[in-house]
Amino acid sequence: MPIDSRDAFGQQASVVVIIPCLNEEDYIAKTIAGFSAEPSAIVGKIVVADGGSTDQTLRIIQACANHDKRIVVLKNDRRIQSSGFNKAVELYGDLAPFVIRADAHADYPSDFCAKLLEAQEMTGADSVVVSMIAKGVTCFQSAAAAAQNSRLGNGGSAHRRAAEGRFVDHGHHALISVGAFRSAGGYDEAFSHNEDAELDLRLISAGYRIYLCAGTDITYFPRKSPVSLFYQYRNFGRGRAMTILKHHTRPKLRQVVPVMIAPVVAMSLLYPVVSFLALPALVWAVASLAYGVMLGVRNRSSCVCGSGFAAMLMHLGFSVGFIWQTVKQISVGGPRQKFGPQMGAH
């Protein structure tokens, strides 16, 4: 049943918006402004869990807080998003029946929180997730965005394209019941990446329901450089391996295929000895680059023509991270059932 979000006086009990961030001076003001625009009857508190920003992020947040007393800064000593979010729920979760996770590196549609609450009330879902559509500002960002929005980059993942409302096993985290979040133990703080998918596995196992909401797609801005994109996807690969090893699940085909890229690239280095060993890597490179050119032509953008190269960085980074994490855990005696402190262990 939907959770009643009104108090005894008929007032909306609202949500707490939690924004984990680190050095987001280019995006944080706009992100906060979108949530500040929603009425206090819906958004009761905006908590920015900062992981030790060294740019102008904290100064910008303080300027925003001077105009909206709902905004507070929470120091996230462990820096990673999972820890910051857990701590925010621990300190502020009693203020509302729901929390909303927001990324500083994204744009949100107007009335985002209100629409999520409507979807929850309509479906009775314990978690309402959204789709994430990438968008670039610089030329390389545009290439990376096109790759992330395509099957070449996302493998057909449901939350990487415009959503059709339905129940799912995973999506980009947005609204979640405080009760469900706490009952499941919150995010596993050993995870710097993929903590959302790992939590969704526990939510589903416990009988909670996750609903992918239509009409609330967020706009995500990819990394600005090839190096940062590679490292981001390396971390994604590490997180995915941790999730699979922790829960003993089978990876999906869209995860298995990119994992093979690092071995294929390594094998191609033996080309001087056995020439045909370079063929798989050559096929992958040509197919990726050609796909990128096709996307560029379709979008009439020379920048998007580079999306094949961006996708190759994503594939290789994911593969390196996945294999590195798997070997690391096996070498120390196999996966553990829990990787780190859960909620309340601060």
Mean pLDDT over 31-59 rounds to: 95
Kindly give the interhelix angle for 307-331 and 279-299, rounded to the nearest 10 degrees.
Answer: 140
Summarize pLDDT for 110-127 with one digit per residue, the tens.
Answer: 899 999 999 999 999 999
The number of folded domains in the chain is: 2
Confidence of residue 159 (pLDDT cuts 50, 70, 90): low
Q: Which of 161, 190, 222 is the last residue in one of the domains?
A: 222
Confidence at residue 272, expressed as pLDDT on a 0 to 100 scale: 86
According to the 3-state scheme, what is the secondary structure of the chain? CCCCCECCCCCECCEEEEEEECCCCCCHHHHHHHHHCCCCCCEEEEEEEECCCCCCHHHHHHHHHCCCCCEEEEECCCCCHHHHHHHHHHHHHHHCCEEEECCCCEECCCCHHHHHHHHHHHHCCCEEEECEEECCCCHHHHHHHHHHHCHHHHCCCHHHCCCCCEEECCCEEEEEEHHHHHHHCCCCCCCCCCHHHHHHHHHHHCCCCEEECCCCCEEECCCCCHHHHHHHHHHHHHHHHHHHHHHCCCCCHHHHHHHCHHHHHHHHCCCCCCHHHHHHHHHHHHHHHHHHHHHHHHHCCCCHHHHHHHHHHHHHHHHHHHHHHHHHHHHCCCCCCCCCCCCCCC
Summarize pLDDT for 163-204 with one digit per residue, the tens.
Answer: 678 999 999 999 999 999 999 999 999 999 999 999 999 999
Specify the pTM: 0.86
Q: Which of 195, 222, 249 is the last residue in one of the domains?
A: 222
Range of the structural domain that residue 319 is part of: 228-331
> Parallel, antiparallel, or unpaired for β 218-220 and 106-107?
antiparallel
Residues 184 and 298 in one domain: no
Q: What is the mean pLDDT of the chain?
A: 90
Confidence at residue 96, expressed as pLDDT on a 0 to 100 scale: 94
Match 């262990």 to its residue by tokens.
345
Residues 184 and 307 in one domain: no
Q: Are 173 and 143 in contact (CB under 8 A)?
A: no
Q: Is residue 336 part of a domain?
A: no
Confidence at residue 148, expressed as pLDDT on a 0 to 100 scale: 95
Q: Is residue 345 part of a domain?
A: no
Residues 271 and 125 in one domain: no
Chain centroid, CA 223 distance in Å: 13
pLDDT tops 70 at residue 5: no
Residues with Cβ within 8 Å of 54's Cβ and at least 6 positions away in sequence, in order, are 23
Q: Which of 175, 197, 222 is the last residue in one of the domains?
A: 222
Confidence at residue 174, expressed as pLDDT on a 0 to 100 scale: 96
Confidence at residue 165, expressed as pLDDT on a 0 to 100 scale: 86
Q: Is residue 8 part of a domain?
A: no
- Position with higher pLDDT, 47 vs 254: 47
Describe the strand order of the beta sheet including 106-107 as a list of residue ranges. Answer: 106-107, 218-220, 132-134
pLDDT tops 60 at residue 334: no
Residues with Cβ within 8 Å of 146's Cβ and at least 6 positions away in sequence, in order, are 134, 136, 292, 295, 296, 299, 301, 304, 307, 310
Confidence at residue 331, expressed as pLDDT on a 0 to 100 scale: 84
Mean pLDDT over 281-296 rounds to: 97
Residues 184 and 72 in one domain: yes
Q: Are 123 and 59 in contact (CB under 8 A)?
A: no
Summarize pLDDT for 215-261 with one digit per residue, the tens.
Answer: 899 999 999 999 999 999 999 999 999 999 999 988 888 889 999 99
Summarize pLDDT for 82-99 with one digit per residue, the tens.
Answer: 999 999 999 999 999 999
Residues 190 and 295 in one domain: no
